[in-house]
Structure 1
Amino acid sequence: MAKEAVNCLFYGETNPEEVMRTLEAIFGRPDALVIAEIEKLRALPKLTDSARDTCVVATNVNNIVATMKALNKENYLNNPAAIRIVLEKLTPSYTRA
């Protein structure tokens, strides 16, 4: 439903802030949008050693972070549960120091 609400904005050179303002005006609950983004994070596949898979997951995580920043809900990015979700997606080769 949200995608359909702003789909036409993606045809031009609309900035992300305008998209987020539109979504907030329609749905009026930025926290609900952030929760939906966290659910997207949970739904991401676990990484493999494939460079393509890494790029896909990284792009999705980037988009989720951008959405939270555009909603001025960056505090969710420091949430231990959200951090754990991302860490659980990593393979051992990504977690080595």
Structure 2
Amino acid sequence: MSHSITRTKVMFSGKVALLAAVLIATAFAGQATADELTPTEQAAVTQHFEILATQQHESENSLIESQQHEFDVELSTAEEQFMDKTCDDNGLQYDSDAEVCYE
């Protein structure tokens, strides 16, 4: 059994192609245009963006404060461990309340 590839020619007229191009262009152009906002709508949009900016600023500040607190806690722990080891290496005791080494 032999297989043969058949080719079908479809004839398009120039008028059909032009009509299809015009319809597609019109569909895209119709979606791309929008009405201008009324002053009331523009004020609402502006107010919305101001609220978003305020909330973003507050969120960023909260995140920064949280990270700063974590950093301070980790730094304090690392300082205390360092001083405890340094005092211990020199045969002394470390007093974390007074932050001094003593015999």
TM-score (norm 2): 0.24
Larger RCO (CA under 8 A, 6+ residues apart): 1
**Which structure has the highest helix share of the two?**
1
TM-score (norm 1): 0.25
* Greater Rg over alpha carbons, structure: 2
**Which structure has the highest strand share of the two?**
2
